[in-house]
Amino acid sequence: MSERERFPGWHGTTIVAVRKGGRVVVAGDGQVSLGQTVIKGTARKVRRLSPGGHPILAGFAGSTADAFTLLERLEKKLEAAPGQLQRAAVELAKDWRTDKYLRNLEAMLIVTDGRELYVITGAGDVLEPEHDVTAIGSGGNYALAAARALMDGPLDAEAIARRAMEIAADICVYTNGNVVLESLDAP
């Protein structure tokens, strides 16, 4: 039996980011699960960072400790390259993939500075969404589909993100309706 089967680990979440009308919104649910048990319903998986005075929003799925380690590294990369989110994201992804310690971290990140929007993974990916919407986590595909369907309608970025999170929470057992939302205006 593998270690993952013996100890199921922290599982699931939903993070969605929507860019519309000069604003980017990142929303995440508050549920933390251990196997089939809800451990906490009010976790904050969306954070506002401001390395070097440049506001950044970040949402994470996966291990909390691993995500915090990655967010600290991202902040250091941004301090070394102020205002250059893409450069910092690429450097983080490169380190994450090649560093012996970092490559074992299990998390995914969505980051934005209000202008650029990226998903960063441990496989070395820095992905920019084509349709101004992206999502991660166990309910990510549900939130992504819902948000994409709502993008052409009259709703603003915040309303789209909230509705997408509601839909994901109705479908994904690892996602709850306790939403934390942060937004940034495009610079």
Q: DSSP assignment of 108-145, as one string?
A: EEEEE-SS-EEEE-TTS-EE--SSSEEEESTTHHHHHH
Residues annotated as catalytic (active site), given as ranges: 13
Q: Which distant-in-sequence residues (6+ apart) come within 8 Å of 32 by Cβ?
A: 10, 13, 38, 39, 40, 41, 43, 64
Residue whose C-alpha is closest to residue 17's, from 55, 51, 57, 50: 57
Rounded CA-CA distance 16/135 in Å is 4
| CB 15, CB 30: distance < 8 Å | no
Q: How far apart are CA 43 and CA 144, in angstroms?
A: 21
- Asked if residues 168 and 14 have their Cβ atoms less than 8 Å apart, the reply is yes
Contact present, 157 and 183 (Cβ < 8 Å): yes
Cβ distance 176 to 166 under 8 Å? no
